[in-house]
Amino acid sequence: MSTPEEIEGRVRAALDELGIAGWEWITIDPQYADTADFCERYGYDLPHSANTIIVAGKRGPAAYCAGIVRACDRLDVNKRVRGLMGVSRASFASAEVTREVTGMMIGGVTALALPEGLPVYADVRLLEMDYIILGAGSRSGKLKMAPQEMEKLPGLEFVEGLSISTE
């Protein structure tokens, strides 16, 4: 497993290589890395925070993808994501599998610096926000950026109906 500094270095390099504009790095106390704790501690609201969640196919050869949804919404794994993956069954990847697939820490998984070839689906409703907060790879930081900048991520596809609103 990489150190937090190595993980953050990969994420910062990806920001530069992809030409992501106007991003802000927010240094945080690692004990507040989980989204709800972060929002409460640092004064951000859940709709502006986005969770990057790894999903695993449950039958056949190993298949994974990343889904990005507002923290106040639920990723529609059973219908929408399963269909996008083309698998008969899918579920949230375990913490261990998430670490193996992403090389990142739980509470900090981000769409930036994911392994090449990993499909990334983002809920189209993220584009309605003036900014979003993403993980920064480790539990020591978050990224604030315009959601439109995510269009620069290779392989990322904005998808209608990726999430189920819980508001």
State pLDDT tens for residues 29-70: 999 999 999 999 999 999 999 999 999 998 878 899 999 999
Position 166 pLDDT exceeds 80: no
pLDDT value of residue 167: 66
86 CB-near residues (< 8 Å, 6+ apart): 63
Q: Do the beta carbons of residue 77 and residue 65 sit within 8 Å?
A: no
Name the pTM for this structure. Answer: 0.94
Q: Which domain holds residue 88?
A: 4-148
What are the pLDDT digits (tens) for 80-126? 999 999 999 999 999 999 999 999 999 999 999 999 999 999 999 99
pLDDT value of residue 144: 98
Return the CATH number at 29: 3.90.960.10
Position 11 pLDDT exceeds 90: yes
pLDDT value of residue 60: 77
Q: Hey, what amino acid is at 9?
A: G
User: For the purposes of burial, counting CB atoms within 10 Å of the CB of 115, is it exposed (0-12), middle (13-18) or buried (19 or more)?
Assistant: exposed
What are the pLDDT digits (tens) for 119-162? 999 999 999 999 999 999 999 999 999 999 999 998 899 999 99
| 162 occurs within a structural domain | no
| 135 occurs within a structural domain | yes
Q: How many domains does the chain have?
A: 1
The position carrying tokens 């991003």 is: 23
| 22 occurs within a structural domain | yes
| 155 occurs within a structural domain | no
